[in-house]
Structure 1
Amino acid sequence: MKKNKKVAFYTLGCKLNFSETSTIARSFTAEGFDRVEFTEHADIYVINTCSVTENADKRFKTIVKQSQKVNPDAFVAAIGCYAQLKPEELADVDGVDLVLGATEKFKLTSYINDLSKNEMGEVHSCEIQEADFYEGSYSIGDRTRAFLKVQDGCDYKCTYCTIPLARGISRSDTMANVIKNAEEISAQNIKEIVLTGVNIGDYGKGEFGNKKHEHTFLDLVTELDKVEGIERLRISSIEPNLLKNETIDLVSKSRAFVPHFHIPLQSGSNALLKRMKRRYMRELYVDRVKKIKEVMPHACIGVDVIVGFPGETDELFLETYNFLNELDISYLHVFTYSERDNTEATSFDGIVPKKIRAKRSKMLRGLSAKKRRAFYESQLGTTRSVLFEGENKEGYIHGFTENYIKVKAPWNPTLINTIHTVELTEIDEDGLVRFNFVEEFAL
């Protein structure tokens, strides 16, 4: 049944989802399926869903329609966070045949015995308390970098967030398995590994569902830095209260870890941080940024921020805007608050009208562009190493420096997945950076 059958995948959401999609895709190829692009004719379409924003929910229906246009007879399976939170809702979408929750998604191939369409979407979903085991994963073959999952779930109780409901308690991979996966990735000639998880600074907690703290995040990055063959290691996103001085110092002296941090802030107002049940105040955030810049002045710092949270008055929004404006950061990821079922914030007063949310979002996106430009300008004239990507975009090849500056050069396929030392020279009209080659980096 499975020989020469074709399977296609679509991933919504975060790097963690990409790592899990890739692992699930490998389980299909191991059983004789051929993986094809989502736009191609396939026998099975798998959609890995996200539920962080309202928009990700809406996009699911559009993606199902896309698959049905290409092949109306194809079997459609939904997995991921939205599938865990709202399985019946997804099963009701026209064309969906199977919905798997948090504990079932890695066993997807065993649920597909018959590829004929179901009249109603079939649901296999657990109570989230049952998601107390750890399933390692990493993405490979999709990019010049791999996303390596080291941790899953979250024990935090942020009032806007559904992730603990969708992914369960905080739990980690064993150190031995993370190192083994890193070595496997390295053997595939992938130059960069991005560490990912829901709350990676919490690494070490709950290995296989218990609460032992055998290893810390610092232990993990110390050991990963020793793995031969990995040119670059990047920390994807880490809570400010879990980013310790020792980790920052290690990155500053590291062989492979790059000077790039992505640190969620969510609000520059202490009043709103308390309302969100975040585990720090803005003063700690300032301290983290200062520490990074002290030991790595060239480091890139990205920030997550939410606009339009209930109770965000004009004054509190301006407090966030001014706080970010004065902070030595490099770019923002701006999220417009959207109400999520079964979160505490849905009962809060002070609802911000959607038009005002959109206006504030636009203001912060403008600030992000200004911050990125200023950071890029500060790096002109410096020598950096660039890892080149594999895509031809309108006659150009793109790449990223170790400190996350996006560069461009005329298309040259021999540069794909290679690292070269360059001098950053100027910012082009599209905001990307041009450069001169200095010397060939050790490949």
Structure 2
Amino acid sequence: MENRKKVAFYTLGCKLNFSETSTIARNLQDEGFDRVDFEEVADMYVINTCSVTENADKQFKQVVRKAMKLNDKAFVAAVGCYAQLKPEELAAVDGVDLVLGATEKFKLADYINDLSKNDFGEVHSCEIAEADFYVGSYSIGDRTRAFLKVQDGCDYKCTYCTIPLARGISRSDELENVLKNASEISKQNIKEIVLTGVNIGDYGKGEFGNKKHEHTFLELVQELDKVEGIERLRISSIEPNLLKNETIEFVSKSRTFVPHFHIPLQSGSNDILKLMKRRYQREVYTERVNKIREVMPQACIGVDVIVGFPGETDEHFLETYHFLNDMDISYLHVFTYSERDNTEAAEMAGVVPGNVRAKRSKMMRGLSVKKRRAFYESQLGTNRTVLFESENKEGYIHGFTENYVKVKTPWNPELVNTLHEINLTKIDEDGSVRMDFILALV
């Protein structure tokens, strides 16, 4: 046992990355490693990178420096989307020993020998066309909820996005394997599973680019709803053109799926949506929101929006702002457009100045605060179910209701990872909601 090495992980980016980090960690544990927190001294540090966040390279360098400060003799490996897109750039960062691309990251153990430092970062990165096989993943032991990967890659050609370059074609896990993973998670006393992927509404495309749809996203949802031992299932981000009315209706009557949808919009202007090569117009988005409200009036609806896209005039921005202001949505995730190498948008005319992008982002974030407040106010006085999380934040424990209202109550370790029926009473200064207990749920 004393020969076991210690490995620590740091995950940048999305829920999908968290699920894959967990899977890589479990694989390494099978190879004789013990996982420790990133704040601890370890023999190896693995950084799962993201290409979507701004300043991806800057974030990565900060994490490497942090690892080197903890142990300057530790072996440092970079994996993930940024490692696929810019492997040489990451390999050149001082302290980095190994960079693995999209297909190599799940075989990390094959690329490490005695963990001695390299003079230069070693790169193993495939051509992205070779990323045509599927590796199922889920996160466990990290949080009170698990992220279950059901799909990877994307066939869409949005002009601002590098994800197809970083993750390859759209492909899905077999339904049997998703159900097996969900069942494994349910046996670990995890109360909530979040379905994740790059474009999960596209679920059904088989391995190796097989375009024959074995199962639809609706069938996936219907089968997952039958898995015993799961209290809650949550759908993460899903494209409006792929979120069908049948799925919305099923969720409204489902045993485990919660009334929470996150639906990317990106722009409320059809002109800009066309420039982005999105596969819908704003009218489709309105239909989806109206359908959700019709069958689930209490549902939480989150929206992704990009500001400052090339060609976005003041008129286009205000069109988006008013479109969202008038719509019954619950919160926004606001992204300020930033140029990405090898994308069409990076070559487009009509570049929006940085200060204008920043101003629009600030306005949109202000709208998000207003929308979230209005949604929370609409929930006051109602009874909900909360799942408490594990962190003690300034003497409080926080949790989320099924419809994603963030609630707080004084810290009590016995509440961690438990579900309780509550009444939402008032909104606190920090924006979370105070509550009264009604009864504990088993």
Superposition TM-score, scaled by structure 1 size: 0.99
Question: Is the Cα contact below 8 Å between 1:97 and 1:120 reproduced in 2?
Answer: yes
Equivalent in the alignment of 1:428: 428
1:159 aligned residue: 159
Matches within 5 A, 1:216-255: 216-255=216-255
Amino acid at match of 2:417: N
Residue 32 (structure 1) shift: 1.8
For 1:74, the aligned partner's letter is A
Alignment of 1:60-139 (within 5 A): 60-139=60-139
Equivalent residue number for residue 171 of structure 1: 171
Q: 2:174, 2:206 within 8 Å by CA — same for their partners in 1? A: no
Deviation at 1:3, TM superposition (A): 2.9
* Structure 2 letter corresponding to 1:174: E
Residues 311, 352 of structure 1: 8 Å contact kept: yes
1:399 aligns with 2:391: no
Helix, strand or coil for the counterpart of 1:306? strand
Of 142-151 and 351-360, the range deviating more from structure 2? 351-360
Matches within 5 A, 1:401-416: 401-416=401-416
- CA-based RMSD: 1.0
Instruction: Provide the rounded CA distance (Å) in 1 between the counterparts of 2:2 and 2:153.
Output: 33
Q: Distance in 2 between matches of 1:206 and 1:3?
A: 41
Q: Distance in 1 between matches of 2:38 and 2:98?
A: 17
The SS at the match of 2:47 is strand
Alpha-carbon contact 2:152-2:167 (below 8 Å) kept: yes
In structure 2, the residue matched to 1:261 is: 261
* Mapped contact 1:383–1:424 kept (Cα < 8 A): yes
The one-letter code of the counterpart of 2:287 is D
Tell me what 1:354 maps to. Answer: 354
1:38 counterpart = 2:5: no
Residues 136 and 150 in structure 1, CA contact (< 8 A), matched pair in contact too: yes
Could you say if the C-alpha distance between residues 429 and 188 of structure 1 is closer, same or farther in structure 2, counting changes exceeding 3 Å? same
- Rounded to whole Å, the distance in 2 between the matches of 1:249 and 1:308 is 35
Between the aligned partners of 1:27 and 1:292, the Cα distance in structure 2 is 40
Partner of 1:54, secondary structure, is coil
- 2:24 is aligned to 24
Give me the whole-angstrom Cα distance separating, in 1, the residues matched to 2:79 and 2:273.
32
Equivalent residues of 2:132, 2:207 under 8 A apart: no
TM-score, normalisation: structure 2? 0.99
In 1, the alpha carbon distance for the partners of 2:105 and 2:4 equals: 22
Partner of 2:275: 275
Do the aligned partners of residues 2 and 171 (structure 1) sit closer, same or farther apart at CA in structure 2, a change above 3 Å counting? farther
Provide the rounded CA distance (Å) in 2 between the counterparts of 1:51 and 1:422: 39
8 Å contact kept, 2:13–2:53:
no
| Matching residue of 1:146 | 146
Q: CA deviation at 1:39?
A: 1.4
CA 1:167–1:2: 2 relative to 1, 3 Å:
farther
What does 1:315-330 correspond to in 2, within 5 Å? 315-330=315-330
Q: For structure 2, list consecutive stretches of 5 or more residues without a partner in the other structure.
A: none
Equivalent in the alignment of 2:297: 297
Give per-residue Cα distances to partners, 1:5-37, cap 9 Å, x unaligned. Answer: 110000000000000000000111112211111
Contact 2:77 2:96 survives alignment (8 Å): yes
The verdict on how the C-alpha distance between 1:21 and 1:44 changes in structure 2, with shifts beyond 3 A counting, is same
Moved over 6 A (4+): none
Q: State the identity as a percent.
A: 81
Q: Deviations over 1:185-223 (max 9, x none)?
A: 000010000000000000001334311101000000000
Do the aligned residues in 1 keep the contact of 2:147 with 2:193 (CA within 8 Å)? Answer: yes
Report the CA distance shift for 1:120/1:357 in structure 2 as closer, same or farther (over 3 A): same
Greater Cα offset, 24-33 or 205-214: 205-214
Decide whether the 8 Å contact of 2:307 with 2:334 is kept in 1: yes
C-alpha distance in 2, partners of 1:206/1:340?
29
CA deviations 1:274-327 (Å, max 9, x no partner) are 000000000000000000000000000000000110001111111111111001
One-letter amino acid matched to 1:333: H
**Pairwise mapping of residues 42-57 of structure 1 onto structure 2 (< 5 A)?**
42-57=42-57
**1:2–1:33 CA contact under 8 A, matched in 2:** no
Deviation at 1:2, TM superposition (A): 9.2
Q: CA deviation at 1:79?
A: 0.2
Could you list the per-position Cα deviations for residues 243-269 of structure 1 after superposition, in whole angstroms to 9, with x for gaps in the alignment?
Answer: 000000000000000000000000000
Provide the rounded CA distance (Å) in 2 between the counterparts of 1:107 and 1:32.
14
The residue matched to 1:437 in structure 2 has which SS?
strand
In 1: Cα distance, 2:57 partner to 2:252 partner:
39
**Correspondence for 2:10:** 10
Contact kept, 8 Å, 1:53 with 1:338, in 2: the verdict is no
Cα deviations across residues 316-370 of structure 1 (Å, max 9, x unaligned)? 1111111110010000000010100000001100001111111111111110000
Unaligned regions of 5+ residues in structure 1, if any?
none
d(CA) in 2 for partners of 1:25, 1:3: 17
